[in-house]
Structure 1
Amino acid sequence: MAKYCEICKKGVVSGNNVSHSHRKSKRKWAPNVQRVRVVENGTPMRKYVCTRCLRSGMVERSI
């Protein structure tokens, strides 16, 4: 599955897991991206869209 939103360009960010003893290891946070049918310029197409964009109405869903 795609790791970024095609609407807002939100993607994977990286950081550290920090244990109780404060040892650090690398980790990633990925956005919640769904493959949905959207209408763009009157044409239905499939895009990878994050759930924040879906919820806020930044895309028009197609049926």
Structure 2
Amino acid sequence: MSRSCDLCGKNANTANHVSHAQNKVKRKQRPNLQSFTVGDMKIKNVCSTCRRTMNKQSK
């Protein structure tokens, strides 16, 4: 399973953990990927933003 959205291509972002003493440690912010079944029964890994948009358009 890839860690990017199949629709918009959103993928991981690098950021810093910053403590009270201002020590910085690299970390990754990953998208909220969920398996989503599209109308023709294909399962795709879609971020929650795209999933909400698809649900809104179907109504």
Q: Tell me if both proteins adopt one fold, taking TM over 0.5 as the criterion.
A: yes
Q: Aligned letter for 1:45?
A: K
The equivalent of 1:44 in structure 2 is 41
Query: C-alpha offsets along residues 4-58 of structure 1, whole Å, 9 cap, x if unaligned?
Result: 100000000011111100010011100100112113xxx3211100010010127
Q: How many residue pairs get matched?
A: 57
Q: Is the 8 A contact 1:2 1:33 kept in 2?
A: no
Structure 2 residue 4 is matched with structure 1 residue 7: no
Unaligned 5+ segments in structure 2 are none
More strand per residue: 1 or 2? 1
Counterpart contact for 2:5–2:11, Cα < 8 Å: yes
The unaligned stretches of length 5 or more in structure 1 are none
Letter in 2 for 1:55: R
Runs ≥4 in structure 1, deviation > 3 angstroms? none
- Percent identity of paired positions between Structure 1 and Structure 2: 37
How big is the alpha-carbon RMSD for the aligned residues of Structure 1 and Structure 2?
2.1
> Is 1:57 aligned to residue 28 of structure 2?
no
Normalised by the length of structure 2, the TM-score is: 0.82
